[in-house]
């Protein structure tokens, strides 16, 4: 039976019926005449050589309501940049597209200038790629919808994109921000940082600090770390972006701060989505936790982004005793959820990974304790890039350089 539960503070658009793709896309073509859709895809060069990204581009080529695609990339040499240009030209022929080479000479220098002007700090990666893609579109004068999704969705279908864009594009819905959710189940349950860190962390924070409006808002999202969203371009111009793995959770915090009431929704994209799965983050030789890679790096950056944003919201400086209790409260909640996930596995005849997930919870617990120890002394550090509107005020002379940043 389709789920139709509606959280009172967060409109939720469910996948209640199968619809004809052609009809939905025709509707989008109609409603986007005055509100065009641009798509930002953050990517590494290595993903051009995988099986997911080429298949995705083949699907996108038929989405006529998408007026522009911005592929915001890093992790490539000059020779690979030239290969990327040929790669996208052959697959997006006839569709306006731009390639942003974020760690190339031109954009790397632009990132460093922004850091110097604003006091912000970027690191090359997904968050900085998303930020640059949005900034490039806004500097180029795009006014309409900006959608963003990952480049590693193995079982990507074009239906996903209309579901993401329609709530923002359609005048009768007129949301300013739509966040995706979907299943992460194959032979086992995935979505490990969301299930084993973010969900129990939010619950523990609410138990210690109360059901504050922001914590209640975050807890209503079914997949807060999903990488897919669509938003009104004017709304995005007010939003800062974390340049690392804290991108999604920090963005939701800022959405809560900026968005008008009832103008944010979450959208069921349907089915189970298969992304690239991160390794746990343990050195294969020493067996020690590796905070610079895999799930451990992701979890650390997500935790720092969340605690940094909550520092002022929850009064961490004045509530150090409650903050001190957070690691134990997190661990207790996470271990309770582990038992439920074991039951889910048994009920659905999935692969039993309870031992691995128990290890992850212990690793996350130690990481949370380290982050809290840091946070009791000073506001947790988190990478952050400024809203476009602020950047225009800081340095209006940079606008043209952002507009001319890409190649095609």
Residue 133 has pLDDT above 70, yes or no: yes
Please state the rounded mean pLDDT for residues 374-390.
Answer: 82
CA distances, 351 to each of 121, 173, 250, 362 (Å) = 41, 40, 32, 21
- Distance from C-alpha of 350 to C-alpha of 339, rounded to nearest angstrom: 14
Nearest to 240 by CA among 21, 391, 57, 60: 391
The sign one gets for the Cα dihedral 6, 7, 13, 14 is negative
Q: What per-residue confidence (pLDDT) applies to 119?
A: 83
Tens-digit pLDDT profile for residues 283-297: 544 455 555 557 999
Nearest to 164 by CA among 61, 48, 267, 261: 267
DSSP single-letter state for residue 4 = -
Label residues 47-76 b or e (16+ Cβ within 10 Å = b). Answer: bbeeebbeebbeebbebebbbbbbbbbbbb
Q: What per-residue confidence (pLDDT) applies to 367?
A: 95
Q: What per-residue confidence (pLDDT) applies to 314?
A: 82
Higher pLDDT, 26 or 272: 26
Nearest to 360 by CA among 188, 150, 181, 243: 188
Contacts of 362 (CB under 8 A, 6+ apart): 331
Domain boundaries, the chain: 12-403
Residue 316 has pLDDT above 80, yes or no: no
CATH 3.90.550.10 fits 12-403, yes or no: yes
Tell me phi and psi for residue 265, to 5 degrees. -140, 165
- Distance from C-alpha of 124 to C-alpha of 69, rounded to nearest angstrom: 20
Q: SS3 of 229, please?
A: strand
Nearest to 148 by CA among 42, 44, 76, 304: 42
Percent of the chain past pLDDT 90, that is, above it, reads: 73
Residue 305: how many CB atoms within 10 A of its CB?
26
Nearest to 124 by CA among 251, 37, 244: 244
Q: What per-residue confidence (pLDDT) applies to 374?
A: 82
Q: What per-residue confidence (pLDDT) applies to 278?
A: 60
Mean pLDDT of the chain: 90
Q: What per-residue confidence (pLDDT) applies to 312?
A: 79
- Distance from C-alpha of 360 to C-alpha of 190, rounded to nearest angstrom: 12
Strand boundaries in 131-261, DSSP class E = 145-148, 177-183, 229-232
CA distances, 128 to each of 117, 124, 125, 131, 386 (Å) = 16, 6, 6, 5, 11
Q: What per-residue confidence (pLDDT) applies to 21?
A: 94
Please state the rounded mean pLDDT for residues 296-314.
Answer: 90
Higher pLDDT, 243 or 202: 202
Distance of CA 68 to the CA centre of its chain: 20
Give the tokens for residue 258: 């900026």
Classify residue 25 by burial, with Cβ atoms within 10 Å: 0-12, 13-18, 19+: buried
Tell me phi and psi for residue 76, to 5 degrees. -145, 155
Assess contact for 131 and 148: CB atoms under 8 A. Answer: no
Q: What per-residue confidence (pLDDT) applies to 93?
A: 85
Tens-digit pLDDT profile for residues 160-177: 999 999 999 999 999 999
- Distance from C-alpha of 153 to C-alpha of 151, rounded to nearest angstrom: 6
Q: What per-residue confidence (pLDDT) applies to 121?
A: 77
Q: What per-residue confidence (pLDDT) applies to 146?
A: 98
Q: What per-residue confidence (pLDDT) applies to 285?
A: 42
Higher pLDDT, 393 or 381: 393
Higher pLDDT, 378 or 249: 249
Residue 48 has pLDDT above 60, yes or no: yes
Please state the rounded mean pLDDT for residues 354-372.
Answer: 95
Three-class HEC string of 280-322: CCECCCCCCECCCCHHHHHHHHHHHHHHHHHHHHCCHHHCHHH
- Distance from C-alpha of 224 to C-alpha of 266, rounded to nearest angstrom: 10
Q: What per-residue confidence (pLDDT) applies to 80?
A: 96
């Amino acid at each position: 039976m389709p789920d139709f539960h509606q959280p009172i503070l967060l409109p939720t658009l469910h996948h209640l019926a199968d619809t004809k793709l052609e009809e939905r896309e025709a509707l989008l073509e109609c409603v986007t005449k005055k509100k065009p859709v641009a798509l930002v895809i953050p990517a590494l060069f290595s993903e051009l050589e995988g099986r997911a990204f080429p298949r995705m581009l083949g699907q996108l080529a038929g989405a006529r309501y998408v007026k522009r695609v911005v592929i915001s990339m890093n992790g490539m040499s000059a020779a690979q940049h030239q290969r990327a240009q040929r790669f996208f030209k052959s697959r997006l022929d006839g569709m306006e597209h731009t390639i942003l080479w974020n760690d190339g000479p031109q954009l790397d220098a632009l990132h460093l200038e922004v850091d110097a002007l604003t006091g912000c700090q970027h690191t090359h990666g997904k968050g900085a790629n998303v930020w640059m893609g949005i900034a490039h579109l806004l500097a180029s004068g795009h006014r309409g919808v900006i959608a963003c999704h990952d480049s590693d969705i193995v079982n990507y279908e074009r239906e996903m994109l209309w579901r993401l864009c329609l709530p923002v594009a359609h005048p009768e819905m007129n949301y300013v921000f739509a966040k995706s959710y979907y299943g992460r189940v194959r032979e086992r349950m995935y979505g490990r940082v969301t299930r084993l860190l973010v969900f129990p962390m939010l619950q523990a924070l609410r138990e210690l600090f109360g059901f504050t409006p922001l914590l209640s808002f975050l807890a209503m999202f079914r997949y807060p770390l999903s990488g897919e969203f669509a938003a009104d371009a004017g709304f995005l111009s007010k939003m800062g972006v974390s340049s690392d793995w804290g991108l999604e959770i920090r963005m939701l915090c800022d959405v809560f701060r900026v968005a008008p009431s009832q103008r944010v929704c979450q959208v069921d994209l349907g089915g189970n989505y298969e992304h690239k799965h991160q390794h746990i983050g343990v050195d294969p030789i020493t067996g020690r936790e590796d905070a610079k890679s895999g799930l451990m790096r992701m979890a650390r950056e997500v935790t720092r982004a969340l605690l940094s944003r909550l520092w002022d919201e929850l009064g961490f400086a004045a509530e150090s005793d409650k903050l001190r209790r957070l690691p134990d409260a997190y661990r207790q909640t996470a271990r309770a959820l582990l038992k439920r996930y074991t039951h889910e596995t048994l009920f659905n005849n999935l692969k039993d990974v309870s031992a691995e997930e128990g290890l992850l919870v212990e690793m996350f617990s130690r990481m949370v304790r380290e982050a809290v120890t840091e946070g009791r002394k000073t506001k947790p550090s988190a990478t952050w890039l400024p809203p476009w509107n602020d950047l225009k005020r800081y340095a209006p002379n940079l606008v043209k350089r952002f507009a001319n940043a890409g190649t095609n």
